[in-house]
Amino acid sequence: MTKTKVAACAKHFVGDGGTTKGINENNTVISYKGLLGIHMPAYYDSVIKGVSTVMISYTSWNGKKMHANRDLVTGYLKNKLRFRGFVISDWQGIDRITSPPHANYSYSVQAGVSAGIDMIMVPYNFTEFIDDLTFQVKNNIIPISRIDDAVAR
């Protein structure tokens, strides 16, 4: 049997190439129109061509961490572009929502999952992640419909 397909991942959504002074994991300061015109075309093309996954960037856009940016992850990528694959965090990406990283982990779990991240890369503190996510779903902080959407992807 010959396998003829692969699962591609478009990364790092979005604005990685426009950070202030070109510094990795920095802030991309640009208007919404500029973000769409300069940084979004590759993602639009990737979605049209059937990319399976999109990885979120460590960067911020106008001060908002991309891992917590529901307007862009769910609003633009999933709803406007109709991306049907799954969205994955970067390595310890939700930890970096706060400064210093991991300062308010419960908030980071809520913000990342609510933003629309479907799979979270948690290399070390996975039991804490599982406990926080379970608590938040059981207490309706994160709706089960958000989990159902992530699992369906």
Of 140, 79, 147, 90, the C-alpha closest to 120 is 90
β-sheet bridge partners, residue 64: 61
Active site residue ranges: 90
Cis peptide before 67 (omega within 30 of 0): no
The three-state (H, E, C) secondary structure of 40-95, written as one string: CHHHHHHHHCCCCEEEECCCEECCEEHHHCHHHHHHHHHHHCCCCCEEECCCCCHH
The C-alpha atoms of residue 69 and residue 115 are separated, in whole angstroms, by 6
Helix 105-115 crosses helix 126-138 at what angle (to 10 degrees)?
70
Helix (H) or strand (E) holding 129: helix 126-138
